[in-house]
Amino acid sequence: MRRTPSVISLLVALALVAVPVAHALSGRAERAVAGPPAPSEPGAALLIAGSPPQPFAVARALRERKRAVALAAAAGEGADVLVDKRRGLGPRYRPRDLVVPRVAFLAGTSPEGRRLRRPAARALERLFAAARRDGVPLAGVSGYRSFASQKALFAGYARERGVENAAHVSARAGHSEHQTGLAIDISGADGRCAASRCFAGTRPARWLARHAAEHGFVVRYPRGRERVTGYDHEPWHLRYVGVALAREVVDSGRTLDELLAR
């Protein structure tokens, strides 16, 4: 004869089932209150809704650090100055460390135009030596240019082309990179197409586009970025910023305006 379970035995059985269930629910509630696991826990980044994948975050942090180091290096040489259509230099500004680099210049280059700031001059000597080893002799066309000289130059362009058109190929006084002593126009040693559009098709122009950054220079007004720089493409116009920042400009595909603007 089968015996009917007593009330007490039924209550004990129910209690045995309820305890682990309650414990599981309690643990789930504690996790809900505490929130997702800390990012340091394995796999935690995958559980946090909206967090970027970790490899991308690391890559972005490395890029930002590389850029910060490059900017600091340029600042250490005073090569992080930004001169453009909005930011300018006063009429009395003249760098104190102007020197004449030991490189060839075209015969028509003025004594003033043969000068550069010392770090740019030493870097230019290395650039010219490297080009010569590659069989591409170069010549300087115009380096430092004073406020007064730039004023006269722009006035000449304005008379020839009108002020609006002149502003695409020449800077107003105080807004020329040449006044910083960090910029120089370069041609081949033969002077062919010096500071002219046809220079873009020459071997010296191609060499500069490939190798200028190795020596701390960038082509300041690149093709296709006219709306950013405000000037027509000038493959002959180099600006010294130091090797680290020059490589950052090339690697990022950004202009100096975009990297230095604050």
* 68 lies in some domain: no
60 has pLDDT over 90: no
The sign of the CA dihedral 121, 126, 130, 135 is positive
Rounded CA separation 185/97 (Å): 19
- Categorize the per-residue pLDDT at 245 as very low, low, confident or very high, splitting at 50, 70 and 90: very high
pLDDT-based confidence at 64, cuts 50/70/90?
Answer: confident
Q: Kindly state the tokens that stand for 208.
A: 């500069």
Per-residue model confidence as pLDDT tens digits over 120-164: 999 999 999 999 999 999 999 999 999 999 999 999 999 999 999
How high is the mean pLDDT of the chain? 85
- Its pTM stands at 0.78
For 161-194, write each residue's pLDDT tens digit.
Answer: 999 999 999 999 999 999 999 999 999 999 999 9
Q: Is the pLDDT of residue 257 over 60?
A: yes
Domain that holds residue 121: 79-260
pLDDT above 90: residue 202: yes
Known catalytic residue: 258? no
**Banded model confidence at residue 12, pLDDT cuts 50, 70, 90:** very low
Q: Which of 77, 177, 214, 234 is catalytic?
A: 234
- Cβ proximity of 123 and 216 under 8 Å: yes
Task: Please report whether residue 16 resides in a domain.
Answer: no
Q: Is residue 98 part of a domain?
A: yes
Whether residue 107 has pLDDT greater than 80: yes
**DSSP secondary structure letters along 36-56:** SPPTTSTTHHHHSTTPPPHHH
Looking at the structure of the chain, the number of domains it has is 1
**What whole-number distance in Å separates Cα of residue 96 and Cα of residue 237?**
22
In the predicted model, is pLDDT for residue 54 greater than 90?
Answer: no
1 in any annotated domain: no
Residue 125 within any structural domain of the chain: yes
For residue 84, what is the domain's CATH number?
Answer: 3.30.1380.10
Contact 219, 235 (CB under 8 A): yes
CB 195 within 8 A of CB 141: yes
- Look at 36-40, 111-115, 213-217, 234-238 and tell me which has the smallest mean pLDDT: 36-40
Q: Place 224 in a pLDDT band, splitting at 50, 70 and 90.
A: very high
Residue 42 domain flag: no
Q: Is residue 146 in a domain?
A: yes
In a domain, 14, yes or no: no
Q: How confident is the model at residue 218 (pLDDT cuts 50, 70, 90)?
A: very high
User: Phi/psi at 187 (nearest 5 deg)?
Assistant: -135, 180
